[in-house]
Structure 1
Amino acid sequence: MLTTSLGWYCYDAGLQAQARSYFAEAWNAANFTADDVLASRTLSNMCRQAVDLNKGREAVRFAQLAQTHAKQWQAPHRVTALLAIREAQGHARIGDAVSTENAIRQAWRSWSRGESDRDPDWTGFLNQAELTCLEGMCRLDLGQAARAQKLLARSEILQDVAHSRNRGMCLGYLSIAALKGGDVDRSVAATKESLRLIEGGMSSTRAVNQLKIVHDKLALHHRSSGVGDVLDQIRAKVA
């Protein structure tokens, strides 16, 4: 459990090679000890990383294998919801809209069945706001910009103060979705709010890296009102 946690910390810090090494070690330990709970958690982490590394097929394989392990310990609904939305992210990354839709529906069905005293702590982040954000990310990968923007905007509103890092990530994706939908003003507003969170003490390498992506996409609209100022603010934070 410590090793898979170390893998997640490395992933969150952008140390992807180290993260993969820790995840592989944790997965081997899970297989050696027949620990299906650990296998489910580790494969979920590996799936999320694979999506970020643009390895969609690998992500799907990890998610489906995690679901096989989850069945072995009769995992509660929060776990099956998480693994389903992870699978959806993998399908979305390779542009498989039908499989993405099916996995998203399964995720929401499982999530709607409620919490359980058997829910592991590593699913505690999966509130309504986060699941909405993850669906929005899937829609964005599928090129459904308007639908993605609507979902990401809703997620940003729903997210509580305790999950400001997740909210910061959501704002980054919202900015990109808005740009793809031609809404530069909404993109600028989302970016400014993300910057405000960072200035307020929210620290996340992933959020900062997301701002770098936003910067490059906003730069294409540098003549639009307010864009120049926000580009300067991003450069001041991520330099």
Structure 2
Amino acid sequence: MGVSVYPKPQADQSVSCYLRNLSRRNGFASVALFTQLFFDDSSLVPITLTGEELSKTIGKQQSHLDGLDLLASGEGRQTHTFGRLEIPRYQLCRKERYCPECLQEQETCLSKWQIGWMPLCAKHKRPLHEMTKEIERGLFLGTRILNEEQPTHRGLLLPLNELCEIQSTLQDRLELESADGCCAGESIVDLVDRRLFTSMRLESVDCLSKRRRRYPLQYYDRSIEDSVLFLEYFAGQIAA
């Protein structure tokens, strides 16, 4: 069985969501079967794919995938393209995240939901959920079995509405930089880096690498709750 249907990515669609759509429309029973056949890995993390690999699989030019953000790039696939920005792997979540209300309105999972330091849906003013196998299977089948229970967010100093406004500011800046490829002053990626490693009492990612040579930081490994707390932690820097 090969790929005979070549859907173009929808606006802001995540790589995981695109693979689900690609697998389903080509008659595969699951994404795992698709990735096992074409990438020899049934447990593939979609954002580890490069644009070249994915375009070769579907038999199209890479331009066919224009608009599909967070595909891997750079040495060792440790950076990911978001428009004109390069976001390091350790700022992205390994697991997908989603907003139940957004998925009631649309079937597309958004690429920005996988960015670790954007843990909220600013539109619906709620924390995102971490994807489970049950929910992912429901999305694949089109049944959309969505858990409406809110993730916990204990110990916040700021109201959730205020945090959502902060993330909206962050999102606007991300979109501006991803479109223009430049900014006045420190980029949003560098700003997050600085605050991320300060929160770990480290000066840089190099310091972290020295401490964790055997177990390097591969992904943004904070829970939804910790991500919300981190957003609160560097709220003042975002506003500046």
TM-score normalized by structure 1? Answer: 0.27
| Structure possessing the higher relative contact order (Cα contacts under 8 Å, 6 or more residues apart) | 2
The structure richer in strand per residue is: 2
Bigger helix fraction: 1
Output the TM-score relative to the length of structure 2.
0.27
